[in-house]
Amino acid sequence: MVSEEEFGRYETAWCPGCGNFSILKAMKKALVMSGLAPYEVLFVSGIGQAAKAPHYLNAHVFNGLHGRALPVATGAKLANPRLAVIAESGDGCTYGEGGNHFLAAIRRNINVTLIVHDNQVYGLTKGQASPTSEEGFVTKAQPHGVLSAPFNPLAVAVTMRAGFVARGFSGAVEELATLISLAIAHPGFALVDVLQPCVSFNKVNTFSWYRKRCATLPPDYDPTDWEAALHTALEWGEKIPTGVLYRNDRPSFESRFPVLDKGPLTNVRVDRESYGEIIAAMT
Amino acid sequence: MDSSPTILIGGAAGQGLLTVGQLLSRVLVRSGFHIVVTQDYMSRIRGGHNTFSIRMSSAPIVAPRETVNILIAFDGESVRKHLSHMTNDGIIVMADNVQAETGNHTCLRIPVATLGKPAMFNIMAAAIVATLLDLDDGLVDKTMREELPDSFDEAAAALQAAFSWARNTGVSRPSLRPAGVSAPRMMVNGNEALALGAIAGGLRFAAFYPMTPGTSVMLTLLAHADRMGLVVEQAEDEIAAVTMAIGASFTGAPSLVSTSGGGFALMGEGVSLAGMTETPLVVIIAQRPGPATGLPTRTEQADLEFVLHAGHGEFPRAILAPGSPEQCFELAAHALDLAERTQGPVLILTDQFLADSYRDVAPFRAETITPVYPLELTPHDEGVYARYALTDTGISPRALPGSGKKLVVADSDEHTEDGHITEDLTIRTKMVEKRLRKMELLRNECIRPAFIGADNPDLLFVCWGSVLGAVTEAAEELSAQGIKAASLHFSQVWPLVAESFLPLLERSGAVVVVEGNATGQFARLLRRECGFMAQVRINRYDGLPITPEFILRQLAEKELIS
């Protein structure tokens, strides 16, 4: 039986009051709920305050480049499908720099769990607008307010029929832990967009702003109803729905490669007999 | 006729040049001839003017030539463009409905409408040329059956009709005899050879974004992926391709990506990431003329400096530059091994000429290669694992996530020995030095340049990569003229270990650096790294491969030969 203690405790580089602490706590709980030991999990992250999260627990970690968590995670999962692969990063890293990879990962339906710390602002680079910042949001880099419309990750994911689409809130740790564990259990691509306050740089979408709006989806909500999910994903305003918005049972990307049935690629050996036949056909 | 004639097939894209080119090439190889194929095509799917030229010989050959002995012209344009390159005894093969001034050359006009469908001109031309060269009809038929399994029946009828026509017309036969090679040879181009070398070397994962002329490495891998247990993925962009490969490699799958210069520009951050995280990575860059989109389907060697400096920050790398399909095979496997042992990026520089150049080679044998199998920890190892343990060699014992209980932590930030992000500047200094210590292993493993010719030459050609063949034959021609010429070919261009070749350069007369770029990138690298200044540079940058004739013309222009 795995316990939260096994995932360790570390000193962090985060601001006091940051939503990241709650997300880290929910993550450890989710790993315990999933029955995963540290050595069975690989975290892949990008760059940003959120992307530091894997450094603060015990697991395999690849902390790579800004925007590139998903392709690294995809390669890792394809090389060793036995690992539970979790990509974790922020809204800027995932939806901005890594936007193309986000779309491609959804299309592939690679069995990677994507946790996005979404605070609607850049933290590490000190307060510029992110792809999810609302129009009019004023920063030093956007002195006249954000001119572009915000990116709606959940609506995009549902539109593309992503395998599993959920929204959590850092202020609801138990619910978030459950959502993450469901995402890990989902045998395909799973997105959990986690709303969180940034105490240093986002004075609009504060903890109480989210607290007031975030509302868990009702128990009779059917996440397999795609059209209803699309409507739900577009809800944003006085009420922001949390929970599993959508899921389906598309086969995972890695399940399409017969060679992966045998386990990690590193164990495959060069079949010299077949190789000889390939060469013979070229003479 | 010449003892090593060139058959040039010219026409528009989409007319079936490649089919007849590959068919004739394979029949020639199976008949015991040596071949060197050059493909020159435009960046379009239909129309334009493309050529597929096959130089053939009973004796070994390694370079393309500019003269044409047999021209298969799909259109009048092909005759007009290549008539001036034809030898006096050259023969033109074309359809009887093609209008073109053919000068005094023997011209075989095939009555295509009588013999079959006009679209079968390519097959008919293959029959005519096979007859001209006295190749075995049955072998042509058999080879065509393998090359065109889907449209064989229709093609076979055209082939037989053309054979009959050729016999009745009394097509003359040159006295060219195959070498009588008893052991079978395989026909392979540079890109196929790279893929086959990588498979034999233990490749398990590859990713790419399509870009000419690098794509066919991946297409070759894909053709054999299911059977050989590889995962090959077309990524959403080059950044994804290279970072996917890094992810797969981190998890224990020997991995490679292939691209061209423009795609590699996007991969720069990935190369740097491999350097920092010390993840084995092989990148194949099939060069084409730049800058930017340049000439997408032509050849050049202008990305040496780019590849040498790609990726921000300082980290060790190796750059290999095969000069033949055989070297492509060997160096692809070597690259995987070197990347694994040095835990970092190894780059392979080729170009469109070599990528597309079919040759006959001794069949590749997987038995000659020791495949890479990444190290694995014993499954129940416990405790803290230091991915970046500071060692004398700079190489830290590598563990794979998922193969044991030890936790593997890698970071693109500067990191502690156990892989965690740090801003401790004492550790930073130690890590920089640790990474750079791996240069020593790379230097020890560096492939020495190959010297061909007599010692203390009056003229020494220096080249790298695909220019090997042209330089070798140019040196042979000069030697035949009584000039003491030799060549030095670098199949590894970084790191350069001066001790292994500087004395040779200093002992030689005129040193001529021959390369496919405008600014003499390798010549300047030699000067920078070894303090050696070559007296003469021969550079080609019109998008065409360097030929022996080109080299000799340039030497004459520079008045180094008369």
Q: Can you spell out the DSSP letters for B354-400?
A: HHH--EEEPPP-GGGS---------TT--S---TT---SSSPPPP--
Per DSSP, the residues of B266-294 read HHHHHHHHHHHHT--EEEEEEE-S-STT-
Q: What percent of chain B has pLDDT over 70?
A: 96
Amino acid letter at A227? E
For B270-289, the pLDDT digits (tens) are: 999 999 999 999 999 999 99
CATH class of B187-368: alpha beta
A234 touches chain B (CB under 8 A): no
Beta bridge partners of B38: B53
A8 touches chain B (CB under 8 A): no
**Across the interface, do A279 and B186 touch by the CB < 8 Å criterion?**
yes
| pLDDT value of position B53 | 97
Exposure string (b/e) for B67-87, b if CB count within 10 Å is 16 or more?
A: bbbbbbbbbebbbebbbebbe
Residue B180 banded pLDDT, cuts 50, 70, 90: low
Residue B176 banded pLDDT, cuts 50, 70, 90: low
- pLDDT score of B378 more than 60: no
A263 touches chain B (CB under 8 A): no
Q: Mean pLDDT over all residues of chain B?
A: 94
- pLDDT score of B173 more than 70: no
3-state secondary structure of B462: strand
Q: Which helix (H) or strand (E) holds B514?
A: strand B510-515
3-state secondary structure of B149: coil
Q: Which domains does chain A have, with CATH numbers?
A: 4-256 (3.40.50.970)
Main-chain dihedrals φ then ψ at residue B259, nearest 5 degrees: -165, -170
Question: Residues 262 to 291 of B: which have CB under 8 A from any A CB?
Answer: 269-270, 273, 277
CA–CA gap between residue A72 and residue A69 (Å, rounded): 5
CATH architecture of the region B450-557: 3-Layer(aba) Sandwich (3.40)
Same CATH fold assignment for domains B6-169 and B450-557: no
**Across the interface, do A39 and B402 touch by the CB < 8 Å criterion?**
yes
| pLDDT value of position B361 | 97
- pLDDT score of B175 more than 80: no
Chain A residues whose beta carbon lies within 8 Å of the beta carbon of residue B196: 278-279
Q: Best of A31, A47, A68 to disrupt the B interface by mutation (most B CBs within 10 Å)?
A: A68
Q: Mean pLDDT over all residues of chain A?
A: 97
Interval B318-325 mean pLDDT: 98
Residue B464 banded pLDDT, cuts 50, 70, 90: very high
**Across the interface, do B403 and A266 touch by the CB < 8 Å criterion?**
yes
**Across the interface, do A39 and B404 touch by the CB < 8 Å criterion?**
yes
| pLDDT value of position B178 | 66
| A64: closest chain B residue by CA | B412
- pLDDT score of A13 more than 90: yes
Q: Are B462 and B512 in contact (CB under 8 A)?
A: yes
CA–CA gap between residue A118 and residue A141 (Å, rounded): 19
- pLDDT score of B382 more than 80: no
Q: What does the longest C-alpha to C-alpha distance in chain B come to?
A: 86
Choosing among 3.30.70.380, 3.40.50.970, 3.40.50.300, 3.40.920.10, the CATH entry for B6-169 is: 3.40.920.10
| B184: closest chain A residue by CA | A283
- pLDDT score of A40 more than 80: yes
Beta bridge partners of B207: B233, B257
CA–CA gap between residue A216 and residue B49 (Å, rounded): 65
Q: Are A254 and A245 in contact (CB under 8 A)?
A: no
| pLDDT value of position B171 | 80
CA–CA gap between residue B520 and residue B401 (Å, rounded): 45
| pLDDT value of position A37 | 96
First to last CA, chain A: 58
Of B226, B252, B401, the CB nearest to A265: B252
Residue B380 banded pLDDT, cuts 50, 70, 90: low
Max mean pLDDT among B57-61, B372-376, B516-520 falls in B516-520
- DSSP at A96: I
Query: How distant is the Cα of B407 from the closest Cα of chain A, in angstroms?
Result: 5
- pLDDT score of B44 more than 90: no
| pLDDT value of position A148 | 97
B264 Cβ contact list (under 8 Å, min separation 6): B238, B283, B285, B303, B306, B307, B310
A99 touches chain B (CB under 8 A): no
| pLDDT value of position A58 | 96
Interval A252-260 mean pLDDT: 96
Question: Residues 407 to 436 of B: which have CB under 8 A from any A CB?
Answer: 407-413, 419-421
| B363: closest chain A residue by CA | A279
Interval B423-450 mean pLDDT: 98
| pLDDT value of position A61 | 98
**Across the interface, do B250 and A72 touch by the CB < 8 Å criterion?**
yes
CA–CA gap between residue B140 and residue B518 (Å, rounded): 43
| pLDDT value of position B562 | 80
Of B199, B207, B400, the CB nearest to A266: B400
- pLDDT score of B439 more than 80: yes
Q: Which residue is listed with tokens 């399940």?
A: A255
Sheet holding B86-95, edge to edge: B106-110, B86-95, B68-73, B6-13, B47-57, B34-40, B359-361, B186-188
Interval A117-138 mean pLDDT: 96
For B341-368, the pLDDT digits (tens) are: 999 999 999 999 999 999 999 999 999 9
What are the extents of the domains in chain B? 6-169, 187-368, 450-557
HSE-up of residue B144 (Cα within 13 Å, Cβ side) = 26
Interval B162-183 mean pLDDT: 77
Question: Residues 215 to 244 of B: which have CB under 8 A from any A CB?
Answer: 224, 226-231, 233, 235-237, 239-241, 243-244
* Cα–Cα nearest to A121, from A171, A172, A195: A195
CA–CA gap between residue A241 and residue B471 (Å, rounded): 70
What's the angle, vertex CA B392, arms to CA B386 and CA B396, rounded to 5? 30
B374 touches chain A (CB under 8 A): yes
| pLDDT value of position B519 | 98
Residue B263 banded pLDDT, cuts 50, 70, 90: very high
Q: Which residue is listed with tokens 């007849």?
A: B20
Q: Are B278 and A110 in contact (CB under 8 A)?
A: no
Residue B177 banded pLDDT, cuts 50, 70, 90: low
Q: Which residue is listed with tokens 């200094």?
A: B429
| pLDDT value of position B179 | 63
